Structure 1
Amino acid sequence: MDRRSIIKHAGIAGVLAAGVAPAVQAQATIRWRLTSSFPKSLDTIHGAADVFAKKLNEMSGGKFSVTVHAPGELVPALGVVDAVQQGTVEAGHTCPYYYAGKDATFAMGTAIPFGLNSRQLTAWYYDGNGLKLFREFYDQYSIINFPGGNTGAQMGGWYRKEIKTLDDIKGLKMRIGGFAGSVLTRMGGVPQSIPGGEIYQALEKGTIDAAEWIGPYDDEKLGFQKVAKNYYYPGWWEGGAQVDFYINKAAFNALSPEYKAMVETAASHAHVTMQAMYDARNPAALKRLVAAGAKVLPFPKAVMDSAFKHSMDLYKELTDSNPHWKKIYTDYSNFRKDQNLWFRFTDAQFDRYMQSAKL
Structure 2
Amino acid sequence: MRRRALFRHASLAAAGTAATGGLAAPAIAQGQPALRWRMTSSYPKSLETIYGTGEVFARAVAELTDNQFQIRVFGAGEVTPPLQALDAVQAGTIECAHTTSFFYTGKNEAFAIATGLPFGLNTRQQEAWLYQGGGIELLNAFFAKFNVFGLPLGSTGAQMGGWFRKEVPTPADLKGLKMRIGGLAGTVLERMGGVPQQLAGGDIYPALERGTIDAVEWLGPVDDEKLGFVRVAPFYYYPAWWEGAANTQFFCNLDQYNSLPKPYQAAIRAACTEATRWMVARYDTHHPEALRRLVAQGAKLRPFSRDMLDACARAWEGLEKEIVARNPDFAAIHASWSKGRDEMRLWHRISELSFDSYAAQLSARR
TM (normalized to structure 1)? Answer: 0.93
The reply to whether residue 193 of structure 1 matches residue 220 of structure 2 is no
**Residues 1-359 of structure 1: pairs in structure 2 closer than 5 A:** 22-357=27-362, 358-359=365-366
Choose 1 or 2 for highest CA Rg. 1
Letter of the structure 2 residue corresponding to residue 255 of structure 1: L
Contact residue 28 and residue 65 of structure 2 kept, 8 A: no
Q: Which residue of 1 aligns with 2:11?
A: none
Letter of the structure 2 residue corresponding to residue 28 of structure 1: P
Contact residue 118 and residue 316 of structure 2 kept, 8 A: yes
In 2, the alpha carbon distance for the partners of 1:335 and 1:146 equals 19
Which shows bigger deviation, 216-225 or 343-352? 343-352
In 2, the alpha carbon distance for the partners of 1:346 and 1:200 equals 41
1:194-230 deviation line (CA, Å, top 9, x unaligned) = 1011111111111111001000011001010111110
Contact residue 25 and residue 61 of structure 1 kept, 8 A: no
1:136-180 deviation line (CA, Å, top 9, x unaligned) = 001111111111010001000000100111111100000111221
SS in 2 for 1:246: strand
In 1, the alpha carbon distance for the partners of 2:133 and 2:127 equals 9
Letter of the structure 2 residue corresponding to residue 34 of structure 1: M
Contact residue 25 and residue 63 of structure 1 kept, 8 A: no
Letter of the structure 1 residue corresponding to residue 196 of structure 2: P
The alpha-carbon deviation at position 262 of structure 1 amounts to 0.6
Contact residue 28 and residue 66 of structure 2 kept, 8 A: no
Contact residue 146 and residue 244 of structure 1 kept, 8 A: yes
In 1, the alpha carbon distance for the partners of 2:38 and 2:200 equals 21
Contact residue 98 and residue 179 of structure 1 kept, 8 A: no
SS in 1 for 2:324: helix
In 2, the alpha carbon distance for the partners of 1:93 and 1:156 equals 23
Contact residue 157 and residue 235 of structure 1 kept, 8 A: yes
SS in 1 for 2:71: strand
SS in 2 for 1:33: strand
Letter of the structure 1 residue corresponding to residue 147 of structure 2: S
In 2, the alpha carbon distance for the partners of 1:158 and 1:354 equals 28
SS in 2 for 1:73: coil
Q: Which residue of 2 aligns with 1:6?
A: none
The alpha-carbon deviation at position 12 of structure 1 amounts to 8.9
Q: Which residue of 2 aligns with 1:3?
A: none
Contact residue 39 and residue 97 of structure 2 kept, 8 A: yes
In 2, the alpha carbon distance for the partners of 1:139 and 1:154 equals 29
Contact residue 112 and residue 179 of structure 1 kept, 8 A: yes
Q: Give unmatched runs, 5+ long, in structure 1.
A: 1-10
Contact residue 143 and residue 249 of structure 1 kept, 8 A: yes
In 1, the alpha carbon distance for the partners of 2:236 and 2:66 equals 46
1:69-100 deviation line (CA, Å, top 9, x unaligned) = 11211110011111111111110011100000
Letter of the structure 2 residue corresponding to residue 110 of structure 1: T
Letter of the structure 2 residue corresponding to residue 313 of structure 1: G
Contact residue 125 and residue 344 of structure 2 kept, 8 A: yes
SS in 1 for 2:212: coil
1:254-302 deviation line (CA, Å, top 9, x unaligned) = 1111111111111111111111111111011111111111111101111
Share of identical aligned residues, percent?
Answer: 47
Q: Give unmatched runs, 5+ long, in structure 2.
A: 1-20
Q: Which residue of 2 aligns with 1:5?
A: none
Letter of the structure 1 residue corresponding to residue 243 of structure 2: E
C-alpha RMSD over aligned residues: 1.5
